Amino acid sequence: MRSRTPVYQLQYLLLMVCVLGSLQPPCQAQSSTADSVAWYGELDTGVRSFRFFIHPSPDPAGAEWQLLSLDEGAVEFTLDSFRNDGSTLALELKKTNASYLGNLNAARDEATGQWKQNGASLNLRLRQVNERPADNPAEVWTGELTVLFQKLPLQFRLYRDAEGNELLRMDSLAQKAGGFLAVRNVTDNRWSLQVPQISGKFEGELSADGKSVSGQWTQGGPQLDLTLTRSELAPSPRPANRPQTPKPPLPYEVSEVGFESLDAGVRLAGTLTIPRTAAPAAGFPAAILISGSGPQDRDETLFEHRPFAVIADALTRSGIAVLRFDDRGTGQSTGNFAAADSRNFRQDVLGALRFLQGHSRLNSRAIGLIGHSEGGLIGTLTSAGSKDVAFLVLLAGTGVSGADILLSQGELIARAEGITDEKLLRDQRRQQEVLIRTVLQHPADATVEILRTTALQELAEQMPADPDARKAFEAQLDGGLKTLHAVWFRFFLTYDPADDLKRVTCPVLALNGARDTQVDPRLNLPAIRSSLAAGGNQRVSVEELPGLNHLFQTCRTGGVSEYEQIDETISPLVLQRLTEWISSTVSGGMSR
């Protein structure tokens, strides 16, 4: 459970709206040398700007070009193509459905054209540079919001043109989301800052020495104290270190593939890796990787970690072919993600299974599923009663209902992040219980207004007396109810995998990190073991792995705030266990 699972249903954090999106390849911070040709431009979306630095790979042997997105945490994207034919400049970034085509001027040092992405077309001018241009705002103001256990540093960059007109941009540094258009109004010592794209507002008073502004930040929820201090421009983020991300040359075949879901009108795009070694007589065994909740790319990219790429690399090096694919409506896959639930995603996996069964180099009777988090749930749905699934691996898979998962993770995540206030924890659980119960008591076509009325009746004791605070409380309720009332969540809340686990007859490996705060091993592993046993499946291994979190990283607390800070993408012990268990399972026969 990742981007879609609410940690705190009644808390609003800063919104992240990215042009290039969260489909981030590994960030390898590089800069062009002084004598190389590079390009720079600023994409203005009206509410947010993106500074792009496009440069050739520093590897002399490589012909790749890279795009550095300075307002998305200085993440670096490897372009699929870059072409300069003397009259036009063109590039393509398939993972984010982005492309650019511009006409070069007579001097061939400036291109004017269109940036196209997901149906939108925006003007973009790129100019030739020898190095990344320096950012020189007239003023920089920084401060830090505290939202429960999370600290969110903010930065406001103020620019002035020759006529003295102001241009203000806001950056959420920890979230690696910047370039938001902001507007400042000053009356005497009173400041008012508006950030329309995220519905953010700051009201404060300038100090006597002019070095700080103290006030409150609001964003559809309660007021939060914020002090902005005149400061220097924040340094560029430290490049993420992801040493496990596979890098070419790779000792196996890598193919871009496409296949149809069993749901009509959905075509999935993915990557198939096949060993270069001699195939067994029956063909290579294969695994299909199934991602967790929220729209994921084929690598299940998160904080520049690419766990599915790492898993595919380890398995393929060990003689097991692997298919990983973009979720429907994500990356290069078609379909409507928002209108789907786990049962639809099962149809996508069945399409993947059918595709691999028809591959001439694969053993059609040795194809299994590896699902992470919600992907484990989807794997269970797909495997139940199936004679086509050779094995099932549940990586932090669920064994209880979604409602139980949410209630469990709410407290575990809070405690892992240092929350010890028992009243706060009780109130948070009470709110979750009420929201879940309210959604399930009403039909799918119930309005948020109806849901809110029901929820407020149960939460009357928590209702603030102050009118403004009451309004903010109701807005928070609406946000939580809208989330839980969505198509995916309504299924997730009520689905209990127990009955389907009883119908799984293939070998099963269930792994859970002991410090997983999103899918509690103490709640889920016993339930998985019990359900499989009740169905008579004796080819089962259920293991709790010490010191690992929800992503199977070696961690300290298991808190979600650690995910980005840890260099390790996935524990080598997990990779070893996966390869050994699958190899043993497929070589030992799989009578079904």
Q: What is the pLDDT of residues 79-125, one digit of tens each?
A: 989 999 999 999 999 878 899 999 999 999 999 999 999 889 999 99
Predicted confidence (pLDDT) per residue in 526-548, tens digit: 999 999 999 999 999 999 999 99
CA-to-CA distance for 190 and 562, rounded, in angstroms?
Answer: 38
What pLDDT score does 512 carry?
98
CA separation for the pair 114, 554 (Å, rounded):
44
Structure tokens at 497: 């995998």
Residue 423 pLDDT more than 90? no
pLDDT for residue 38 is more than 70: yes
Query: What's the burial of 521, exposed, middle or buried (CB within 10 Å: 0-12/13-18/19+)?
Result: buried
Tell me how far apart the alpha carbons of residues 324 and 270 are, in angstroms, rounded to a whole number.
6
When pLDDT is averaged across residues 283-289 and rounded to a whole number, the result is 98
pLDDT recorded at residue 96: 83
Residue-wise pLDDT tens digits, 342-379: 999 999 999 999 999 999 999 999 999 999 999 999 99
Q: What is the pLDDT of residue 11?
A: 30
pLDDT for the residue numbered 340: 95
pLDDT recorded at residue 34:
33
Averaged pLDDT score across all residues of the chain: 89
Name residues whose C-beta falls within 8 Å of residue 48's C-beta, 6 or more positions apart in sequence.
17, 19, 71, 179, 180, 181, 197
pLDDT at 59: 62
pLDDT, position 21: 33
Q: Which of 314, 315, 286, 310 is nearest to 300 (CA)?
A: 310
Determine the average pLDDT of the residues in 391-405.
97
The confidence score (pLDDT) of residue 220 equals 67
Q: Where are the beta strands (DSSP E) in 503-571?
A: 508-513, 540-545
Q: Could you please report the per-residue DSSP string of 83-100?
A: EE-SSEEEEEEGGGTEEE
592 has pLDDT over 80: no
31: confidence class by pLDDT, cuts 50, 70, 90: very low
What pLDDT score was predicted for residue 83?
A: 94
Query: CA–CA separation, 540 vs 509, rounded Å?
Result: 6
At residue 262, the pLDDT reads 98
One-letter amino acid at 90 equals A
Closest CA to 355 of 282, 272, 274, 296: 272
Q: Out of 257-261, 469-473, 555-559, which region has the weakest mean confidence (pLDDT)?
A: 469-473
For 122, the token pair is: 């925006």
Q: Examine the pLDDT at 16 and tell me if it is beyond 80.
A: no
Which residue would you say has higher pLDDT here, 415 or 28?
Answer: 415
pLDDT class of 223 with cuts at 50, 70, 90: confident
Q: Is 574:375 a contact under the CB 8 Å cutoff?
A: no
What residues does 281 pair with on adjacent strands?
none
Q: Is there a contact between 526 and 510 (Cβ–Cβ < 8 Å)?
A: no
Report pLDDT digits (tens) over 180-220: 999 999 999 999 999 998 889 999 999 999 999 999 998 86
pLDDT band at 450 (very low <50, low <70, confident <90, very high): very high
Provide the pLDDT confidence category of residue 30 given band limits of 50, 70 and 90: very low
Contact 171, 155 (CB under 8 A): yes
**Side chain identity at residue 123, one-letter code:** N
Show the tokens assigned to 230. 């005149």
What lies within 8 Å, CB to CB, of 550 at 6+ separation is: 1, 373, 396, 513, 516, 517, 518, 519, 558, 560, 563
pLDDT of residue 525: 98
| Contact residues for 510 (Cβ-Cβ < 8 A; gap 6+) | 376, 393, 394, 397, 525, 528, 529, 540, 541, 542, 543
- Is there a cis peptide before residue 464, judged by omega within 30 degrees of 0? no
- Residue pLDDT, tens place only, 126-156: 999 998 888 889 999 999 987 766 778 999 9
Angstrom distance (rounded) from CA 155 to CA 141: 6
Q: What is the pLDDT at residue 46?
A: 87
Please tell me the pTM assigned to this model: 0.78
Q: What's the whole-number mean pLDDT along residues 40-63?
A: 84
Residue 63 pLDDT level (bands cut at 50, 70, 90)? low
d(CA 220, CA 228) in angstroms, rounded, equals: 20
What does the pLDDT read at residue 148? 62
Residue 221 has what pLDDT? Answer: 64
To the nearest 10°, the Cα dihedral for 393, 399, 403, 406? -60
Identify the residue with better confidence: 23 or 439. Answer: 439
CA 91 to chain centre: 25
Pair 531, 501: CB distance under 8 Å: yes
CA 421 and chain centroid, separation: 29
Tell me, what's the pLDDT at 240?
82
Q: Report how far apart, in Å, the C-alpha atoms of 210 and of each of 190, 202, 378, 539 are.
A: 12, 17, 57, 70
Name the residue among 301, 334, 393 with its Cα closest to residue 583: 393
pLDDT band with cut points at 50, 70 and 90 for residue 77: confident
